[in-house]
Amino acid sequence: MAGVYLRQAVRSMHTSIGSGPNFEFAATSCQGWRNTMEDVHVIIPYMDGENSTHQASLFAVFDGHNGVEVSTYAAKYLPEYIRRNRKYQSGHVVDGLKEAFILLDNSMLLRESVNELREIRRLMHPNIPEYTPGFTSGSTAVVCLLKNNTFYCANIGDSRCVLSRNGRAVPLSLDTKPDDPHEMARIERAGGTVMRGRINMQINVSRAFGDHMYKCNPDLQLTEQMIIALPDVIVEPYNDKTDQFMVLMCDGIWNSMTNDDVIQYISRRIRTDRLSQITEDIIRKILPEEMPERGIQGKDNMTIVIVKFLNQATMMMMNSPASTATPQLTQQQQQQLQQQLQQLQQLQTPAFLMAQKMFSKTNSDRKFKLKLQQQQQQQPPH
């Protein structure tokens, strides 16, 4: 863990606020005691455009590890992968989310994607040694889509989404950790071991974007590797009479406050205080003046998003202009993305075969293309 923490915490906070069709939001992030900031969040109030008949809003938190490049890349491109997914467009939202996650993860093995990941790392971590991006670095993701009065929450890793319903915490995501029996069984079948909650004594999440060094077993499908990017998706109806607000947060928050603690703290203040004041105060509450010698509480990057619904449950209305916290793609980037999607759809060989070639010293200069095996099952077992 040497070099992971700073001598003095970075206490400056970055907060964004805005509103959507039936909600307002605030999001705050803080680097804290970590030597780098690896969290990224995205909020898109009008996912399908403001004039869409079936309105959708997207909220997401990406918690990177071993670098910010994968979380930044995922935050930038995942919304487009979801929008352009044919299953999503045809109303099969759960299958569309799962497929979008898998396609995005494997797009990171394309030559141009590797170059972009490397450039992000050089820009954001100029003084940190450069490892192979997307191979030794990765990111968790919790993505909640509110569409057709329904929550669709897709999750890989240990960031969380929690709904306040009648003042009680209702989880919309479940952590995926290596020591969960189902996750451990898959990891061991793939040739890995789980000790002290970590795969091969290294990483403590079992589902993530990137981390392709754990996805290279040529005898296994993409969803059978030690680490996979297939999300669990929880579907929950939205109730405007009972659902007051929703919270998305990385583990840097919930390591110090339980789901119930967060919901109760916000509930006491949400009727009188600004959302941005609440998000910032939660981080101040967690971030210690001195770094604890033991444990992980208060030591990690911190990101929290509060989404307050403007409905019968809250009886509060505000008219702040809609805004987003997501980077916008240029026309050239959208064209490049479309080319990547077409390339992924046309090729057939599993991506991990190309990962082996890509990171082999003997093949370092060989031109490669990503080959993604089409997933046959609509909903793989969990």
Q: What is the per-residue DSSP string for 250-284?
A: -HHHHTTS-HHHHHHHHHHHTTTS-HHHHHHHHHH
Better-predicted residue by pLDDT, 339 or 8? 8
Residue 57 DSSP SS3: strand
374 pLDDT more than 80: no
State the Cα–Cα distance between residues 236 and 202, nearest whole angstrom. 34
State the Cα–Cα distance between residues 122 and 131, nearest whole angstrom. 10
State the Cα–Cα distance between residues 99 and 105, nearest whole angstrom. 10
pLDDT given for residue 329 in this prediction: 57
Better-predicted residue by pLDDT, 213 or 368? 213
What share of the chain has pLDDT > 70, as a percent?
Answer: 80
Better-predicted residue by pLDDT, 174 or 49? 174
| Model confidence pLDDT, tens digit, residues 130-161 | 778 899 999 999 999 999 999 999 999 999 99
pLDDT given for residue 316 in this prediction: 39
CATH of domain 5-363: 3.60.40.10
Question: With bands split at pLDDT 50, 70 and 90, how would you rate the model's confidence at 347?
Answer: very low
Helices (H), 108-255: 111-124, 181-189, 251-254
DSSP 207: B
pLDDT given for residue 3 in this prediction: 65
pLDDT given for residue 318 in this prediction: 36
Question: With bands split at pLDDT 50, 70 and 90, how would you rate the model's confidence at 319?
Answer: very low
pLDDT given for residue 154 in this prediction: 98
314 pLDDT more than 70: no
Most confident range, picked from 33-37, 257-261, 289-293, 351-355: 257-261
Better-predicted residue by pLDDT, 304 or 322? 304
Residue 363 DSSP SS3: helix
Question: With bands split at pLDDT 50, 70 and 90, how would you rate the model's confidence at 248?
Answer: very high
pLDDT given for residue 337 in this prediction: 60
pLDDT given for residue 7 in this prediction: 87
50 pLDDT more than 90: no
Residue 144 DSSP SS3: strand
113 pLDDT more than 80: yes
Average pLDDT for 350-376: 35
Question: With bands split at pLDDT 50, 70 and 90, how would you rate the model's confidence at 312?
Answer: confident
Average pLDDT for 322-333: 51
Whole-prediction pTM value? 0.82
Question: With bands split at pLDDT 50, 70 and 90, how would you rate the model's confidence at 331?
Answer: low
pLDDT given for residue 346 in this prediction: 46
217 pLDDT more than 90: yes
Domain boundaries, the chain: 5-363
Burial of 274 (0-12, 13-18, 19+ CB in 10 A): middle
Average pLDDT for 107-136: 89
Question: With bands split at pLDDT 50, 70 and 90, how would you rate the model's confidence at 101?
Answer: very high
353 pLDDT more than 50: no
Average pLDDT across the chain, whole number: 84
